[in-house]
Amino acid sequence: MCEKSGLETQIFISEVWNMERVATKNNHQALLEHAHFGLYCEFYGLSQSEAVSREDTLAYMEEKWEVLEQLIGGYLEMGKLNQEYCEKYQGCECGVFDENMFQLEG
């Protein structure tokens, strides 16, 4: 049986740990490269470096990414609708506001 010295053991452990980090990064590469990764991190209140350093966080984000994509899509769609409403009814609100002011004064 071949025994390793303390230094050799430490080097071996370090190499295994680095291999695990690389494997983890490769497993999550699609998530890390996704255009909305920054938004995902912001949603969970994490910096990107915090998220990348935690395997459990990345796994959770991958599990929930579809839900977040639906949220993002919903907000984008609502933004478009809100813009349309603003453009369509902008003049109406000013007229109602002015009429209410006259009623309050009179």
pLDDT at 76: 85
pLDDT at 47: 93
- What are the tokens at 20? 């695990």
Rounded Cα gap, residues 36 and 13, in angstroms: 34
HSE toward the beta carbon, residue 55, CA cutoff 13 A: 9
**Tens-digit pLDDT string for the chain (106 aa):** 455 566 665 555 555 444 444 444 566 888 888 888 888 889 889 999 998 888 888 888 888 888 888 888 888 889 888 888 888 877 665 655 555 555 555 5
Q: How many CB atoms lie within 10 A of CB 61?
A: 22
Q: For the chain, where are the alpha helices, taking DSSP H only?
A: 6-27, 29-33, 37-44, 48-52, 55-105
